[in-house]
Amino acid sequence: MHTHEHSHDDRHSHHEHDHGHDHQYDLHESKTKWVVIISAITMVAEIAYGFISNSMALTADGWHMSSHVLALGLTWVAYRVIKHWKKKAGAKGNQTKVLSLSGYTSAVILGIVGILILVESAERLFSLQTIMYGDAMLMACVGLAVNGISALILKHDHGHSDHNIRAAYLHVLADTVTSLLAISALFFGQMFNLSWLDAAAGIIGSLVVLNWAVSLLMNSAKDLLEYK
């Protein structure tokens, strides 16, 4: 009799644990969806203003946000796949793999964009252009504000995090750094007539992005290969 009660309690506890995971995935999916929407709108605006103002720092920040949107799109798709699996067959074994694969893919995208920013910024050092500082700084400040909002939306309990939501969070952090660099380069470039700072900000930002990409890539790969 005692054994039967113990088994019933175990099943009840397991059911509550599964329900908690379902709620967690739904919450992460909702957060990711909203960040993708606001980031996509800001991305278009930054790229457009970067082109109009001739700002390499702003253009690079805008294109990096495009990878941010793509990577977060993959994150959202991963959560949708998990929900589909659970509805169809209650699959649980591959959830961690899907999340790790999404994080790995996001890291690859982030690394590629970092290299592209590095190359383009280096080329701009040797072909300086007149920059419309006022317009560029205004848009960069908008981008920074959006990144701050996105970070708040994606803020999560690190004790129950996964590589999927961590990838999204890292993309937002990377965008925040590049936005700050863009604002600083534009401000001091205008104040001291140093247009090369705009290109230098792109180079520094790309190195930061590449560092985060490598870290996320290694952590996700360990889970995919089940390496401890």
- Reply yes or no on whether the pLDDT at 1 is more than 50: no
Residue 72 confidence class, pLDDT cut points 50, 70, 90? confident
- Reply yes or no on whether the pLDDT at 119 is more than 50: yes
Enter the DSSP assignment of 159.
Answer: G
pLDDT score, position 12: 46
pLDDT by residue (tens digit) across 155-196? 765 445 556 677 777 778 877 887 898 999 999 999 999 989
Question: What is the mean predicted confidence (pLDDT) over 34-58?
Answer: 89
Q: What angle do helix axes 163-192 and 56-89 make, rounded to 10 degrees?
A: 170
Residue 14 confidence class, pLDDT cut points 50, 70, 90? very low
Residue 218, CA distances (Å) to 107, 121, 138, 173, 225 in order: 9, 27, 36, 18, 11
| pTM greater than 0.75 | no
**CATH superfamily of the 26-224 domain:** Cation efflux protein transmembrane domain (1.20.1510.10)
Domain range summary for the chain, segments of one domain joined by +: 26-224
